[in-house]
Amino acid sequence: MTARNLPFLRTLPVPQGMQFALGLGALWVGAWVYGTRVTHTDVLLAFSAPSFLHVLAMVLLTAALAPPARRGALVLCVAWVAINWLFESGQHAGLAKPIHQWLQAQCGGWSVCHRSALFFRNGTFDTLDLVAAAAGGVCAWLLLWSSARHTWSRA
């Protein structure tokens, strides 16, 4: 993928373009690891890598499309970690069944809602995923800080 394939990338300043590219790359690697993790049973962290990469990717993509100020970058990172934690917590044995039943009752024939219900019913809660998501948020904040520390306002 190059700027020629994605014309809007040419309009982004270099740090934002890099953030966008890194975000897409992290999302792709996370999807690949998630899809093939059965073969990664010898690497414990491979099971939590998608959580780490998802938060990292979503923060970088969001920041590339809507560049935050200094405080906004921290809020952005915390927000994506919280979203990931909410979805992970929804897979906990004590919450998954009630969430699944509630979503099924609300869905009607809407397939996106039905698939979300299945996510909670079939998912597996893992504390390491919570840790990995937090680490992804910290890593994303460090990347944002290092790429924009000289251009951020005091806002």
Answer with the residue of higher pLDDT: 151 or 96.
96
The answer to whether the CB of 51 falls within 8 A of the CB of 132 is yes
Mean pLDDT of the chain: 79
Nearest to 125 by CA among 81, 92, 76, 78: 92
Helices (H) and strands (E) counted in the chain, each on its own, are: 6, 0
> What percent of the chain lies above the pLDDT cut of 70?
78
pLDDT greater than 90 at residue 135: yes
**Domain definitions of the chain by residue range:** 12-90+128-155, 91-124
Answer with the residue of higher pLDDT: 36 or 14.
36
The answer to whether the CB of 26 falls within 8 A of the CB of 18 is no
Q: Is 126 exposed, middle or buried (0-12, 13-18, 19+ CB in 10 A)?
A: middle
Looking at residue 73, what is its pLDDT? Answer: 87
Looking at residue 155, what is its pLDDT? Answer: 44
Task: Please tell me the least confidently modeled range out of 55-59, 79-83, 95-99.
Answer: 95-99
Nearest to 142 by CA among 55, 65, 66: 55
pLDDT greater than 70 at residue 41: no
- Across the range 113-141, mean pLDDT stands at 87
Confidence of residue 153 (pLDDT cuts 50, 70, 90): very low
